[in-house]
């Protein structure tokens, strides 16, 4: 056994719920702890602990992320009414991801893990398309009404300083219809822009941003202007030095170009575009369990996780004593993403190269036909394909990893 590799600074670890909590422990026990001398600042975000601490543990975990800058998070239950009953909760606690994002103020970026034996639905997407979704405002924070009688709808802004309200006519209704008011904030758009530029530079990939500013000449144009200004002032030199580019285009042109591209860019999307496009990309690339996710804060904090949830159905099977074939790839890549970022901040290339070895071993496992159930359904048919149980999948990765150390 070779000497363990030292991780210089603690990583913030946020444990989670259900099947992902089980796999999280397996990943640590098999792929990390035997090889790494690593301090973690551990927070149990499992639902019981959140309830017991009145959700303080989530806030503590976010604050710790501000201190150490790098966190890895397991999937967690966002309680609904059924969960309140199931876990006998004091109340319906908010989504931990929402709470953490509220404190760290960031953007979530997703990217698929590509393997040779799972072809994306779009043939030419040979590189991952990373997607960043603005997560504030627009239609997600709207005010709407139904109009049933004739009348005039106006947009009215009343300044707090007592000056004259500004009014603009939206529509004179002669027959029934619907109305909607939406907004966004320059600060939030700017934070989003900074997170996107940070991520693209970090990954050394081009950044594409798209709005509909030809039609929305004030609202969408504001997004475009804020991105452009931020780029010119703070990122242009860094992007040029890294050999990457910032590219703005209309949303419809972006969609058309993405379909024809080979991938390999960050696609920054407004809130609604990102909602729709991220689901399209996840499905086109094969499996949600092959999708990684990272929260990048404009203040330089990074929180890595899987894009999927706690895989509740598999957990109930597990509780009933049945074997499951659940995919741990995205959880593994959450850890390796966090380790690589930690290595970069600490200047410890041996940690980064170990993380890379885990990723290589995981990809090789899948490419050699050792598959979990979700991958069996989407992988190219091959006589060597074999469905394995959750723990055997991780075992295989470990065996390959051992040969590389």
Interface residue list for ligand NAP (CB under 6 A):
75-78, 97, 288-289, 305, 308-313, 326-327, 372, 374
Q: Kindly state whether residue 272 participates in binding Mg ion, applying the rule CB under 5 A.
A: no
Q: Which does 261 bind (CB under 5 to 8 A by kind): Mg ion, ligand NAP, none?
A: none
Nearer to ligand NAP, 318 or 340 (CB): 318
Q: Which does 279 bind (CB under 5 to 8 A by kind): Mg ion, ligand NAP, none?
A: Mg ion
CA-CA-CA-CA dihedral for 361, 368, 20, 1, to nearest 10: -30
Contact of 329 with 134, CB cutoff 8 Å: no
By DSSP bridging, strand 291-296 and strand 70-73 are unpaired
Nearer to ligand NAP, 213 or 274 (CB): 274
CB of 272 to ligand NAP, least distance (A): 19
**For 259, phi and psi rounded to 5 degrees?**
-60, -35
CB of 328 to ligand NAP, least distance (A): 7
Nearer to ligand NAP, 312 or 356 (CB): 312
Q: Which does 6 bind (CB under 5 to 8 A by kind): Mg ion, ligand NAP, none?
A: none
Stretch that binds Mg ion, among 40-48, 275-283, 296-304, 326-334 (CB under 5 A): 275-283
Residue reference for tokens 């993403």:
337
Output DSSP code: residue 137.
S
CB of 73 to Mg ion, least distance (A): 20
Q: Which two tokens stand for residue 203?
A: 């990954």
Strand, helix or coil at 14?
Answer: strand
CB of 61 to ligand NAP, least distance (A): 13
Contact of 15 with 21, CB cutoff 8 Å: yes
Residue in 60, 202, 275, 346 binding Mg ion, rule: CB under 5 A = 275
Nearer to Mg ion, 192 or 239 (CB): 192
Number of residues that bind Mg ion (CB under 5 A): 2
| Nearest one of 25, 94, 84 to 59, comparing CA atoms | 94
The burial class, CB within 10 Å (0-12 / 13-18 / 19+), for 243 is exposed
Distance CA 79, CA 182 (A): 28
CB of 120 to ligand NAP, least distance (A): 18
Q: Which does 275 bind (CB under 5 to 8 A by kind): Mg ion, ligand NAP, none?
A: Mg ion
Stretch that binds Mg ion, among 25-33, 171-179, 247-255, 272-280 (CB under 5 A): 272-280
Q: Which does 282 bind (CB under 5 to 8 A by kind): ligand NAP, Mg ion, none?
A: none
By DSSP bridging, strand 246-250 and strand 206-211 are parallel
Strand, helix or coil at 72?
Answer: strand
Residue in 48, 186, 279, 382 binding Mg ion, rule: CB under 5 A = 279
Distance CA 180, CA 146 (A): 9
CB of 405 to ligand NAP, least distance (A): 26
β-sheet bridge partners, residue 250: 211
Q: Which two tokens stand for residue 209?
A: 């941003």
Q: Which does 289 bind (CB under 5 to 8 A by kind): Mg ion, ligand NAP, none?
A: ligand NAP
Q: Which does 292 bind (CB under 5 to 8 A by kind): ligand NAP, Mg ion, none?
A: none
Q: Which does 348 bind (CB under 5 to 8 A by kind): ligand NAP, Mg ion, none?
A: none
Identify the sign of the CA torsion 112, 196, 247, 221: positive
Angle at 294 between CA 290 and CA 298, to 5 degrees: 160
Integer CA distances (angstroms), 237 to 32, 210, 212, 224, 241, in order: 38, 22, 27, 19, 6
CB of 209 to ligand NAP, least distance (A): 25
Nearer to ligand NAP, 295 or 352 (CB): 295
Summarize as ranges the residues that interact with Mg ion (CB under 5 A): 275, 279
């Amino acid at each position: 056994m070779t000497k363990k590799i030292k991780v210089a600074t603690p990583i913030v670890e946020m444990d989670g719920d259900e099947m992902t909590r089980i796999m999280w422990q397996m990943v640590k026990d098999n792929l990390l702890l035997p090889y790494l001398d690593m301090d973690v600042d551990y927070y149990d975000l499992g639902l019981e602990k959140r309830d017991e601490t009145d959700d303080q543990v989530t806030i503590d975990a976010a604050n710790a992320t501000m201190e150490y800058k790098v966190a890895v998070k397991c999937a967690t239950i966002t309680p609904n009414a059924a969960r309140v009953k199931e876990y006998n909760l004091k109340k319906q606690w908010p989504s931990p991801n929402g709470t953490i994002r509220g404190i760290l103020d960031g953007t979530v970026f997703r990217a698929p893990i590509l393997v040779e034996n799972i072809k994306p639905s779009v043939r030419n997407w040979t590189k991952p398309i990373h997607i960043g979704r603005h997560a504030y405002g627009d239609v997600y924070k709207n005010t709407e009404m139904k109009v049933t009688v004739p009348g005039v709808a106006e947009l009215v802004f009343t300044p707090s300083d007592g000056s004259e309200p500004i009014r603009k006519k939206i529509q004179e209704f002669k027959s029934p219809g619907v109305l909607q008011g939406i907004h966004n904030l320059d600060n939030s758009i700017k934070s989003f822009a900074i997170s996107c530029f940070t991520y693209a530079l970090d990954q050394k990939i081009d950044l594409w941003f798209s709005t509909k500013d030809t039609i929305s000449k004030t609202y969408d144009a504001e997004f475009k202007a804020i991105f452009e200004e931020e780029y010119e002032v703070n990122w242009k030199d860094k992007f040029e030095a890294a050999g990457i580019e910032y590219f703005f285009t209309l949303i419809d042109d972006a969609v058309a170009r993405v379909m024809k591209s080979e991938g390999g860019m960050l696609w920054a999307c407004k809130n609604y575009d990102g909602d729709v496009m991220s689901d399209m990309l996840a499905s086109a690339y094969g499996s949600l369990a092959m999708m990684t996710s990272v929260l990048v804060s404009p203040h330089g904090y990074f929180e890595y996780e899987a894009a999927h949830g706690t895989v509740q159905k598999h957990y109930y099977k597990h509780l009933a004593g049945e074997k499951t074939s659940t995919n741990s790839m995205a959880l593994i890549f959450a850890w390796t993403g966090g380790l690589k970022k930690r290595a970069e901040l600490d200047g410890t290339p041996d940690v980064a190269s170990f993380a890379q070895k885990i990723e290589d071993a995981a990809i090789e496992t899948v490419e050699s036909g050792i598959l979990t159930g979700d991958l069996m359904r989407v992988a190219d048919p091959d006589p060597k394909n074999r469905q394995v149980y959750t723990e055997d999948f991780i075992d295989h990765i470990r065996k390959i990893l051992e040969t590389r150390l």
